[in-house]
Amino acid sequence: EPEVTQTPSHQVTQMGQEVILRCVPISNHLYFYWYRQILGQKVEFLVSFYNNEISEKSEIFDDQFSVERPDGSNFTLKIRSTKLEDSAMYFCASSALPQGSYEQYFGPGTRLTVT
């Protein structure tokens, strides 16, 4: 069964450094999402992406964050200058269609630790 993959599984970085989290969505999906989960808190939506542009974003997704689909397979989340509070589990998801009851398929997550 096709699945969403994410790399790396764990990333440790120093405050102020840039990080890029990578995701490979399911190949025939067109809609892509990033969510994050701070330890002990709920999973929160960051951004959705379709047709090479952001379709929705939350207030968490500020100027420090950016997303890109650099080629036909990867979908990346970049954090320009990491803060301690960016430490979280970051989940990528993809779906064939964006709305209704269509399922979002999630990756296993990248644990980001900012020291």
Partner 1 sequence: AQTVTQSQPEMSVQEAETVTLSCTYDTSENNYYLFWYKQPPSRQMILVIRQEAYKQQNATENRFSVNFQKAAKSFSLKISDSQLGDTAMYFCAFRRGSQGNLIFGKGTKLSVKP
Binding footprint of partner 1 on the chain (CB under 8 A): 3-4, 31, 33, 35, 41-45, 48, 55-56, 58, 91, 95, 98-101, 103-109
Question: Smaller CB distance to partner 1: residue 14 or 101?
Answer: 101
**HEC-encoded secondary structure of 14-56:** CCCCCEEEEEECCCCCCEEEEEEECCCCCEEEEEEEECCEEEE
Whether the CA torsion 107, 42, 87, 71 is positive or negative: it is positive
Shortest distance (Å) from residue 16 CB to partner 1: 29
Yes or no: say if 87 and 114 are a contact pair by the CB < 8 Å rule. yes
Question: Smaller CB distance to partner 1: residue 41 or 52?
Answer: 41
Shortest distance (Å) from residue 106 CB to partner 1: 4
Residues 16 and 64: their CA atoms lie apart, in Å, by 11
Shortest distance (Å) from residue 39 CB to partner 1: 12
Shortest distance (Å) from residue 15 CB to partner 1: 27
Residue 84: strand, helix, or coil: helix
Question: Smaller CB distance to partner 1: residue 15 or 96?
Answer: 96
